[in-house]
Chains A and B, each alone.
Chain A
Amino acid sequence: AQSVSQHNHHVILSEAASLELGCNYSYGGTVNLFWYVQYPGQHLQLLLKYFSGDPLVKGIKGFEAEFIKSKFSFNLRKPSVQWSDTAEYFCAVRAGGGNKLTFGTGTQLKVEL
């Protein structure tokens, strides 16, 4: 069964700092990759997704992620974070042609003013 690892459980940054959150998965075949975000008190919502094509994908609010197949990674990046980016971020993988998503354990990001 596939698994997803998010190595950073809690990250604290100052506004304008750069962000990179790690995500690694364990599946050798075709994958679809997702980053979801859960702002305090809000729905889980999609930040960005990779299905195929350009491995550098851009999402909402200035976020981007790069799929590196050889490293089984899909790290999330943002050049300059804002206080409003404070949230929990989840990486998810769909593998093997099914509909099931496997989620990582999440990274709690706190951005300080």
Chain B
Amino acid sequence: DGGITQSPKYLFRKEGQNVTLSCEQNLNHDAMYWYRQDPGQGLRLIYYSQIVNDFQKGDIAEGYSVSREKKESFPLTVTSAQKNPTAFYLCASSILDLAKNIQYFGAGTRLSVL
């Protein structure tokens, strides 16, 4: 069953705590992305990666970090520096060919602050 798996589905963060959201894909896609979805604000890009061991900041990278050690995996860490982390986080992946580039999305992780 091919696709993008995000875990956990729900996550709670305490003050001052770092938490890591998992994203795994078995679509053999080179590019992976993290978005944050807030009501009435659409999706905003946090980080993206086009190749293993390389990634770029998106529009709202402050307070977040990522790694890309394997092609299949692109975990997102929400650090204590992110003062408003409560949101729905979506991971996506795509091929690099711009003529056929469609982003496919996981089911998301809902993060809340305790």
User: Do A and B actually bind?
Assistant: yes
Q: When A and B form their complex, what is the total count of cross-chain residue pairs whose Cβ atoms lie within 8 Å? A: 52
Q: Which residues of B contact A45 (CB under 8 A)?
A: 105
B interface residue numbers (CB < 8 A to A): 31, 33, 35, 40-45, 48, 50, 58, 90, 94, 96, 98-108
Residue of B nearest to A101 (CB): B103
Q: Please, how many angstroms separate the alpha-carbon atoms of A43 and B5 in the complex?
A: 11
Residue of B nearest to A34 (CB): B102
Could you list 21 examples of A-B contacts with CB < 8 Å? A6-B42, A42-B107, A43-B106, A43-B108, A44-B105, A45-B105, A46-B104, A49-B102, A94-B101, A97-B98, A99-B48, A99-B96, A100-B45, A100-B48, A101-B43, A101-B45, A101-B103, A102-B45, A103-B42, A106-B40, A106-B42
For the complex with contacts A99-B48, A105-B40, 20 further pairs of A-B residues with Cβ separation under 8 Å are: A4-B42, A6-B42, A42-B107, A45-B105, A46-B102, A51-B100, A92-B43, A94-B98, A94-B101, A99-B50, A99-B94, A99-B96, A99-B98, A101-B33, A101-B45, A101-B103, A102-B45, A103-B35, A105-B42, A106-B42
